[in-house]
Structure formats: structure tokens, C-alpha cells
């Protein structure tokens, strides 16, 4: 599948953010119909990810069209990198583009030793994708007994109340 990554320029950030929130909000509302109409993830969460010092943001391109996007954090010293935000536009779901995009991400960062990401406990599509398609392993479950470590950084409502019931942390050790 002809999928490649194209760097998001700062001026394109509002459109990137809007498409990301559409994809995430649609997925969450499918699982939690009573959730509020606030965008998911929040503007602040996306901006923190997008503007962090190690962040790299890309559109996922297919046949000249923007079909999704990704924000990764790349640690050039440890080679332990994280998949911070990853989406395929809802109109392109179930087309194989997500797996093709993940392969493009891995190819872009061949020096990566470990990839890490998180997803809410109820996101069966994501869990299936990361574990069964991409080769990640669930290594931790965040919940009230084991809080998500990035919750307490001075921000109110870091994790939406609807997600406080749990999130899985995944790792993929490369070369295995």
C-alpha cells in the first residue's frame, strides 16, 4: 500500500488538530455515548504533545490525500520512542491504512529500540490493532490503584473522567 509520512508545518496545525479530534471523538462517542461534546483529546493535550521538544508530527498520506496523522516523541539518545497521537480519518477506517502507516513510522525510525503508547481500556479496535496487528504487548494497566503517571502535572482534568476507569500501556521491543 502506497502510504508515506509528510511533516506537518506549524501553520497546518489547526487543520491537523481538527481532523485528529474528529477521529478521536467519534471513536470515544461510539463506546461512551453519554460523553460530553468537548473535543477529545483536549486542545491543551494536543498542543502539549505537538509542541514538546522531542515531538515530530506527520500527516499520513495515501494517493496524495491526507488520510490521518501521527505525533511521535523521538529520543535520539535512548531510542525509546513513543507514539503519542495516531489516527486514521473515520472515512478511511478498515482499509489497511493504519497498519501501512505504522509500517511507515517504523521505517522512518529504524534506530528505535522500544516503542510505547497508551490507549483507553474500552478501545477494543486500538487494542486489537496494537497487539494483533503491530506486535505491541500490554505491559501496564493504569487505574485508580495504579494511576496514569502524567495525570498530576498541575493541570485540571488531565484525563477525562470517562477515561479514568483505565488505560493500557503498550510496548513494542524492536528486533523481537
Question: pLDDT tens, 108-139?
Answer: 999 999 999 999 888 898 999 999 999 999 99
Q: How far is CA 16 from CA 11, 33, 40, 65, 89, in A?
A: 10, 25, 13, 13, 11
- pLDDT at residue number 33: 67
Pairwise CA distance, residues 120 & 125, whole Å: 11
| Order of all β-strands in the sheet with 65-73 | 3-7, 55-62, 65-73, 80-88, 114-120, 167-173, 137-142
Pairwise CA distance, residues 165 & 174, whole Å: 30
pTM: 0.86
Owner of C-alpha cell 511521535: 72
Q: Which three cell numbers stand for residue 165?
A: 476507569
**Between these two residues, 41 and 73, which has the higher pLDDT value?**
73
In the chain, domain spans = 3-173
Q: Which helix (H) or strand (E) holds 3?
A: strand 3-7
Give per-residue pLDDT as tens, 133-150: 999 999 999 877 777 776
Give the whole-number percent of the chain exceeding pLDDT 70. Answer: 86
The answer on pLDDT for 69 being more than 90 is yes
Question: Mean per-residue pLDDT for 31-40?
Answer: 71
Q: How far is CA 17 from CA 64, 86, 122, 138, in A?
A: 19, 11, 23, 27
CATH of the domain spanning 3-173, picked from 3.40.50.720, 3.30.70.580, 3.40.630.30, 3.30.413.10? 3.40.630.30
The answer on pLDDT for 152 being more than 60 is no
Amino acid at each position: 500500500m502506497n502510504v508515506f509520512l509528510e511533516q506537518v508545518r506549524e501553520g497546518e496545525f489547526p487543520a491537523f488538530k481538527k481532523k485528529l479530534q474528529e477521529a478521536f471523538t467519534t471513536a470515544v462517542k461510539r463506546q461512551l455515548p453519554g460523553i460530553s461534546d468537548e473535543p477529545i483529546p483536549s486542545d491543551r493535550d494536543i498542543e502539549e504533545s505537538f509542541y514538546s521538544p522531542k515531538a515530530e508530527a506527520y500527516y499520513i498520506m495515501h494517493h496524495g490525500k491526507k488520510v490521518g496523522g501521527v505525533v511521535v516523541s523521538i529520543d535520539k539518545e535512548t531510542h525509546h520512542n513513543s507514539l503519542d497521537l495516531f489516527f486514521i480519518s473515520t472515512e478511511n477506517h478498515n482499509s489497511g491504512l493504519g497498519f501501512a502507516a505504522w509500517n511507515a513510522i517504523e521505517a522512518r525510525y529504524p534506530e528505535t529500540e522500544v516503542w510505547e503508547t497508551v490507549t483507553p481500556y474500552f478501545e477494543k479496535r486500538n487494542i486489537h490493532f496494537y497487539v494483533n496487528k503491530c506486535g505491541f504487548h500490554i505491559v501496564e494497566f493504569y487505574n485508580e490503584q495504579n494511576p496514569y503517571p502524567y495525570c498530576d502535572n498541575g493541570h485540571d482534568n488531565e484525563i477525562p473522567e470517562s477515561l479514568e476507569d483505565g488505560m493500557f500501556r503498550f510496548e513494542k521491543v524492536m528486533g523481537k
